Each structure stands twice: as C-alpha cells, then as structure tokens.
Amino acid sequence: MKTHASPPPALGLPELALIAITFIWGGTFLVVQHAVTVSGPLAFVAARFAVAASIGALVCRGQLRQLTKAELLTGMAIGVSIFGGYALQTYGLMHITSSKSAFITAFYVPIVPLVQWLVFKQRPRAAVWAAVVLAFVGLLLLTGTDGLSMSLGKGELMTAVGAIAIALEIILISRVSPQLNILRVTIVQLATASLIALLLMPVMGEAPPALSQTFILSVLALGCASALIQYVMNWAQKRISATKATLIYAGEPVWAGVIGRIAGERLPALAIVGGILIIAAGILSEWRPKRLRADGKAIAPAD
C-alpha cells in the first residue's frame, strides 16, 4: 500500500514569522513620520540602521570572523537596495501621511515579477500584467484625491520609486540567502545602508540632528525593529519562495492603515479604494490557478 506525504501546512513557522514582522513593519511608518520632524531623513536612516547593525553584530560577534567575500558582496548589494527603499520612503513621509506611504509602498508587490523579468529574464504571467494595471489605477486614486487631479506629488513619487528598490531587495534576498549565512549577510546589509546614508549627508547638505528624546527613542525603537525585520525576512525567505513572501507582505499597508487611523489619520474614500486596489493587485500578481492533468485531476501550481 502506497503512502503519500502530507502537504506542508499553509501557515508554517516561516509564514507566521513574516506575518508578525509585517505587523511590526506597518507600525514603523508612523514612527518615522514623527522622527523626521526632529531629524533629516538621511541622518535618521543612518542612525536607524547603525543601531540595527550593532544589535546584529552583538548577537553574532563570534561569527563575523568567518565572513566570506560572497557574503560581503551580497550584503552590500542588498544594503544598497535597502538604503534606496528606506531613504526614499523617509523623504516621502515628510510630505504625505503614514497610511498613504504604506499603501504606495505596497506597490512593490506586483512590481516584483516585473523586476524579475527585467533583471533575470523571467517572463511575467498574464495575471501579473493585469495586477500592474490594477495597482497603477489604485496608485492614481490614492495619490490624486486632491480635486481628482490624478497627479503624483513629491512625497508620492519618492515613495513609489522607493517601492521599486524594495522589490529589488525582496528578489535579491530570495535568490542569494539560501546559500549564505543569514546573520552575517544581515549585518552587512544593515551596515551598508547606514554607511551610504551617513556619507550622503554632507553631499546633500544635511546637518546632524539634535539629540532630542523623540530622535533617540525613535532610532532605538526602529533600530531594533529593523534588525528583527531584516533577519526574519532573510531567515523566512530561505525557506519559502519570493512569491509566498511578497503575498504575505501585501498585508503590511493594512496594519499601517489601522495604526494610522488609531493615531488620527483619515484617508478620503477614494484613497481607501485606491489602497484596496493596490493590495488586490498584490494578491492577483501571485495568483496561480491549478492546472488539470489528462485524467482530470488538479495539479497544484508551482510556488
């Protein structure tokens, strides 16, 4: 009698871990928005990721001696994309609400397959093209609520470009993390993001911030959150696909919207519709219908 292995649970430990950090990630938008009232964006990004890298280095200081060239280069590449995503997002939060920023950032979900196509020649499915169109309509509704002007302001545009950098980060993590030490790569990428922001401060004419209570507490809180988020992303995406991971990440703006509303933010009705469309686009971009075998039985789609 043949036995068949039972399929893995839909929500294993990697999936549950990503859901948890997605909730934490959603809460960071509001903290950043308050922090940039007392600090320049580059200074905050530099300090935030410096704290995160320091935490990682303390946790695995014994492993850093085994850092390989591949881990260094990989961590630096991911760190560049992290810097681009978070720096642009932080700049954007100086001009738009945390709820709107979170929904626009979610634009990276349907962008992931397009970036994979452009960089790695993986042609998107028809559902992905439909998702991109849906997400773009959602983006217009979300950002064009001022008299239905349907135009991208400075904050919206920076956040949307930052979403593309985050898409590249997700893809890089999924492609390289299975072969490398997660902790060492995480430390390098966090340190790289911090160093780039620090070096760009004089170039952009940004002065060091005053060490106010708001700045210090925000940096410490988000430094801890960033270390946890990046490590869990690397750990979980070593065990599940980028497809499943990005689908879970699509829930991040929902948490940000809930937290923003508790804090008193109110999005117009059309903006809420736009946010819903962006989330729906993320889900659609990862949808894979089951195929039928010759005997009529369904074949589970590839992950």
Torsion, Cα of 213, 218, 219, 223 (10° steps): 150
Q: Each residue's pLDDT tens digit in the chain (303 positions)? A: 444 444 445 568 888 888 888 888 888 888 888 898 999 999 999 999 999 999 988 887 777 888 888 889 989 999 999 999 999 999 998 888 887 888 788 777 777 777 778 777 777 777 777 877 777 777 777 666 443 444 567 888 898 899 889 888 888 877 776 678 888 888 899 999 999 999 999 999 999 998 899 999 999 999 998 888 878 887 887 787 766 777 777 777 777 877 887 777 777 777 778 778 777 776 776 666 655 445 544 444 544
pTM (whole model) above 0.85: no
State how far the alpha carbon of 78 is from the alpha carbons of 47, 88, 136, in Å. Answer: 18, 16, 26
Question: What phi, psi does 260 have (nearest 5°)?
Answer: -65, -40
